[in-house]
Amino acid sequence: MQFSHLKTQPFKQKSWFERFSDQPHQLFFASTLFFAFYTMIGTFLSLIGKEVDFSLLHSFGLLFGVFTNAFLGFLMTVIPRYSTSLPIPQQTYLFVWIALQIGTLLTLFGFVLLGKMLVVGSLVATVAVFYKVIKRGKSLDKKESYLLSALVFLGAMLLLGEIVFAINLSILIFYGYLLNVVFLVALKMVPNFYSVYTQKPKWQKPKYILEFSLLLFLSIGVVSQFELLFLSKILASIALVFFGYIVLNLNIYGKTPPIILIMVVSFIWFYVGVIFYFVETVLEIYTMKLSLHTFALGFVLNLLIGFGSRVTMGHAVPPLLIVADRFLVGLFVLMQIVIVSRVLGSLFYVSEINFFMGFFHLSSTLWIVLFLGWGIRYGKTILRIAR
């Protein structure tokens, strides 16, 4: 039988943008890298006296340009898995990504009202996407996925509150939205990674411990934002005991490879942040936001690089082995130097040692080097540039 009259369809090579946009984390992680450079270079310039809007760059830029991009990229990938649902369609996450980037850029370039409204819209659209994915999922336990969606919605509403009431709510947004999202993800994922590697059972969290954690951080955000000192002292005392109980009971402190160890270290920094918050609140010491920066760098940044590296390696085309080579271990070490530099800057400020500002400069500079290194290591993989 002759089939010579049938023509085979030629294989169509994907364009670069088709490759780049075929997984959500690639889009969001690439934006994370861009804003990590942009915001911290601007921060450094403001520290050396240049006319730069420090609050806009350092608060809004980091909250939404860097950290929100990073963790939305992660959630777009894992929430369908949490829910045993279908992946998010490309056109859906592409729309959200574009809206978030345009909104963030417009805000940073001075079109604050329009930019923030676009960011609010992108976050609300994200929540709608997550809700649809979770609802149609087959998982029997969807509580954490719904809580994460609710926190993203809270972030959108708090940013909307900034617009409506014309006030800066960056502290409340950090504690109530960002830190809560990262804490919930970490409390789920880090023990999972550790248990899979060590074959040890995970800590069975007491009922409602997640809800109480989220409510406690939201409350800390409110009292910190509005400087309610008496209530701050009460919440700081509760946090010291409550989060100490969680961190001590996590059962994740055995010997593990660096790719898991960096996430374990993030929990140690997390509790150091709780201790700093307790001390600066109870003793009424102004530390230039020592506890907030310990949470942001020690906890959130460690997890950003840790989770980001795992997702990038695991979803690479072709997939990469999920291990931390010497270069990545070096970046992990550098990250700890970034954190310690920022901590020392605050401690020297409190001690009235004149060169405290040098440590702020050092921390900002090493942040840029850190993301430059991470971009060198994974930039081609994220951008899907042919090797």
With contact defined as beta carbons under 8 Å apart, do 294 and 343 qualify?
A: yes
- Model confidence band, residue 4 (pLDDT cutoffs 50, 70, 90): very low
Write the CA distances from 324 to 73, 190, 266, 317, integer angstroms.
Answer: 21, 16, 16, 18
* Selected residue with higher pLDDT from 54 and 302: 302
- The greatest distance separating any two alpha carbons of the chain, rounded to the nearest whole angstrom, comes to 91
SS3 readout for 105-138:
HHHHCCCHHHHHHHHHHHHHHHHHHHHHHHHHCC
Query: How many angstroms from the chain centroid is the CA of residue 126?
Result: 16
- Give tens-digit pLDDT for 83-128: 999 999 999 999 999 999 999 999 999 999 999 999 999 999 999 9
3-state helix, strand and coil shares in percent for the chain, rounded to the nearest 5:
75, 0, 25
The angle at the Cα of 39, spanning 350 to 289, to the nearest 5 degrees, equals 20
Average pLDDT, rounded, for the chain: 94
Running DSSP on this structure, what letter comes out for residue 323?
A: -
Q: How far apart are the first and last CA of the chain?
A: 43
Query: How many angstroms from the chain centroid is the CA of residue 376?
Result: 20
| Residue 303, Cβ density class (10 Å: 0-12 exposed, 13-18 middle, ≥19 buried) | buried
Note the pLDDT of residue 11.
55
Note the pLDDT of residue 169.
97
- Model confidence band, residue 320 (pLDDT cutoffs 50, 70, 90): confident
How many angstroms separate the CA atoms of 88 and 293, rounded? 33
- Give tens-digit pLDDT for 373-382: 999 999 999 9
Query: How many angstroms from the chain centroid is the CA of residue 377?
Result: 19
Q: Which of 207, 154, 158, 162 has the alpha carbon at shortest distance from 180?
A: 154
Query: How many angstroms from the chain centroid is the CA of residue 215?
Result: 19
Handedness of CA 197, 199, 200, 203 (dihedral sign): positive
Residues 306-328, mean pLDDT to the nearest whole number: 93
Note the pLDDT of residue 46.
86
pLDDT at 383 over 80: yes
pLDDT at 9 over 70: no
Q: Which of 331, 148, 347 has the alpha carbon at shortest distance from 355?
A: 347
Return the domain boundaries, the chain. Answer: 16-168, 183-387
Write the CA distances from 70 to 216, 257, 271, 280, 308, integer angstroms.
Answer: 24, 23, 22, 29, 7
Q: Which of 166, 168, 165, 181 has the alpha carbon at shortest distance from 126?
A: 181
Q: List, in order, residues 6 or more apart from 1 with CB less than 8 Å away.
A: none
How many angstroms separate the CA atoms of 343 and 139, rounded? 42
How many angstroms separate the CA atoms of 156 and 125, rounded? 10
Q: If you search the block for the tokens 């609710």, which residue do you land on?
A: 150
Q: Tell me the Cα Rg of the chain.
A: 21
How many angstroms separate the CA atoms of 140 and 82, rounded? 10
Q: CA 123, 126, 131, 136: dihedral to nearest 10 degrees?
A: 180
Q: How many CB atoms lie within 10 A of CB 119?
A: 28
pTM: 0.95
The encoded tokens of residue 312 equal 């990038």
Q: List, in order, residues 6 or more apart from 61 with CB less than 8 Å away.
A: 35, 38, 39, 42, 104, 108
The one-letter amino acid code at 306 reads G
* Selected residue with higher pLDDT from 75 and 12: 75
- Model confidence band, residue 14 (pLDDT cutoffs 50, 70, 90): confident
